[in-house]
Amino acid sequence: MALLTVTVSLAAQDKIVRRARVNLEEIQNFMADKERKPKDTEKMLAMMDETMAMITPTLTSPETKKELANAWDIKAKLHMFIFSPLLDKVIAHEPTDTAKLAEEIYAALDAKEQSYLAEKDSKEPRFKVANQLDVIKFRPYVAYCGQMFFQNGQHAKAMDAFKRWLDYPKTYTILEDNAAALAADEQTPQIAYFTCLAAYFAKDYKSLFEIMPQAKAYTKEKDQINQLLLTAYIEQGDTVNWMKTGREIVMEDPNGNEAIAQNLMAYYFNKSDSKGALAFTEELLAVNPNSKIGNYAKGLVFMNDHKYADAITFFQKTIDADPEFSDAYYNAGVCYSNIGYDMNDALTGKKMTPAQQKVEIDKVKDEYAKAEPFFLKVKELEPTNTHKWASRLATVYYILGNKDKQKEMESLLGE
């Protein structure tokens, strides 16, 4: 009697699955009927709910044997019936329940994978081929979900969707021989970039750092990716990796990463680390002695150490490399002005004859006169940035005794 009861129970579970398959075929026929009546839609929706309720217990019951793969396949198709009209709305650019769409796509994919696993050892699998094709076809849908979540500002969900896309070949073993080709998909670097972007906005730095190696292959957004990585380090307070990564990025292309190089220099200066700053500039110039940013950075080091004459040499090399680099002209002018200022300051309290004093004052004026063309070049390159050059030129003209030009500059400053 006990054996008979077990046998009947096993048969009952498989029988439920087969009955659910009959329901599924009826639902499929309804879906395929272009002349279906709207009043029958509610009936079919009810049948879908009924069918899902029928098979759900069979999926986890140890009594389901021969029809387990069938049960999972039915579940997958029911989820497909639900997400298909939602996907049609996306294609038609109509408002769509993105969360529901993603939920149903993920559920269909997972069910197809479980169906495959249930009949993996079968010599004649019934569902593998069709489900394998669907799993391959559904991969872009996962990316669509990521894009829609991102557009809606749901960055954590967007990141999850993009990560699912990236992990696709590993997650769905049903892909088998297709896995390698899918892993090498040319869209992988771009999707990895989107994943990092979503991770950044979701403040999931762990995922960002995890996916970043793949994202770096997306050269179209190389600068944005570099900035994303550096910003993430800064926001985490990880200055060690920020410095290390920043240096690596700059060394790859010193002139192409000027902003990063200048940020690194600012960090050294804020820390009063002239030694570190100088070592950084030496690395830059070792890569390319004519590097614009390398020479500019070294000029800043000398300028920061009040070695103005040395600084001017490197600012001039910067100008030779890039005649349009306004800041190099500006800092060279500042250095000449500072030399003049220091010379004048040294005269305080010094006993001299009027003739001697005139000679020394003329030397001071000569240094300010050397600054003038550099500030005028800044004016030419940045005509609207008045405060940058007008105040400097006003000082130069004051020292040189050119009152008209001094007033002209002061008038520009509103003085």
Instruction: Give, for 66, the enclosing helix (H) or strand (E).
Output: none
Residue-level pLDDT, tens digit, the chain, 415 residues: 444 444 445 568 889 999 999 999 988 888 777 777 777 778 888 899 999 999 999 999 988 889 999 999 999 999 999 999 899 888 888 988 999 999 999 999 999 999 999 999 899 999 999 999 999 999 999 999 999 999 999 999 999 999 999 999 999 999 988 888 888 889 999 999 999 999 999 999 999 999 999 999 999 999 999 999 999 999 999 999 999 999 999 988 887 888 898 889 889 888 888 888 899 999 889 988 888 888 998 999 999 999 999 999 999 999 999 999 999 999 999 999 999 999 999 988 888 888 998 999 999 999 999 999 999 999 999 999 999 999 999 999 999 999 999 999 999 998 6
Q: Are 20 and 59 in contact (CB under 8 A)?
A: no
Q: What is the pLDDT of residue 16?
A: 93
pLDDT at 3: 43
Pairwise CA distance, residues 44 & 50, whole Å: 10
Q: How wide is the angle at C-alpha 376 spanned by C-alphas 375 and 382, nearest 5°?
A: 85
In this structure, the number of other CB atoms found within 10 A of the CB of residue 152 comes to: 12
The pTM for the full model equals 0.77
Q: Are 177 and 133 in contact (CB under 8 A)?
A: no
Q: Structure tokens of 384?
A: 């609207």
Among the four given CATH numbers 3.40.50.2300, 1.25.40.10, 3.40.50.300, 3.40.50.720, the one describing domain 238-323? 1.25.40.10
DSSP calls for 23-56? HHHHHHHHHH-TT--GGGHHHHHHHHHHHHHHHH
- Cβ of 160: how many Cβ atoms within 10 Å? 23
User: Is the Cβ–Cβ distance between 167 and 146 less than 8 Å?
Assistant: no
* pLDDT computed for residue 91 by the predictor: 86
d(Cα 302, Cα 284) in Å, to the nearest integer? 15
Q: 168 with 157: CB under 8 angstroms?
A: no
